[in-house]
Structure 1
Amino acid sequence: MKLIIAIVQYKDSSGLVNALTEKDFRVTKLASTGGFLRSGNVTLLVGVEEEKVDNVIEIIKDTCKKREKTIISPYPVTESTGMYIPYTYEIEVEVGGATIFVVDVDNFMKV
Structure 2
Amino acid sequence: MKLVYAIIRNENEDDVTAALMQDHFVVTRLSTTGGFLRKGNTTLMIALEDSDVERCIELIKAQCGRRQQITVNMPYLSGSSLMNYSSMPTNVEIGGATIMVVPLERFEKY
TM-score after normalising by structure 1:
0.85
Hey, which of these two has a bigger chunk of strand by percent?
A: 1
Q: Give unpaired runs (5+ residues) of structure 1.
A: 76-83
8 Å CA contact 1:74, 1:89 repeated in 2: no
Q: Name the CA distance, whole Å, in 2 between partners of 1:13 and 1:63.
A: 9
1:8–1:97 CA contact under 8 A, matched in 2: yes
Q: CA deviation at 1:90?
A: 1.5
Q: How many residues are aligned here?
A: 103
| Matched position secondary structure for 2:40 | strand
Could you tell me the TM-score, scaled by structure 2's length? Answer: 0.86
1:32 maps to: 32
Which consecutive unaligned segments of at least 5 residues does structure 2 have?
76-82
Q: Deviations over 1:14-73 (max 9, x none)?
A: 110011011111100000012210110100001111100000000011111111001123
- Flag the structure with larger Rg: 1
Note if 1:20 corresponds to 2:20. Answer: yes
Which residue matches 2:46?
Answer: 46
Task: Compute the RMSD of aligned alpha carbons.
Answer: 1.5
Identity fraction in percent:
39
Runs of 4+, deviation exceeding 3 Å = none
Does the aligned pair in 1 maintain the 2:37–2:73 contact within 8 Å?
no
CA deviations 1:55-104 (Å, max 9, x no partner) are 000001111111100112348xxxxxxxx843332110011111111111
1:69-88 correspondence to structure 2 within 5 Å: 69-74=69-74, 85-88=84-87
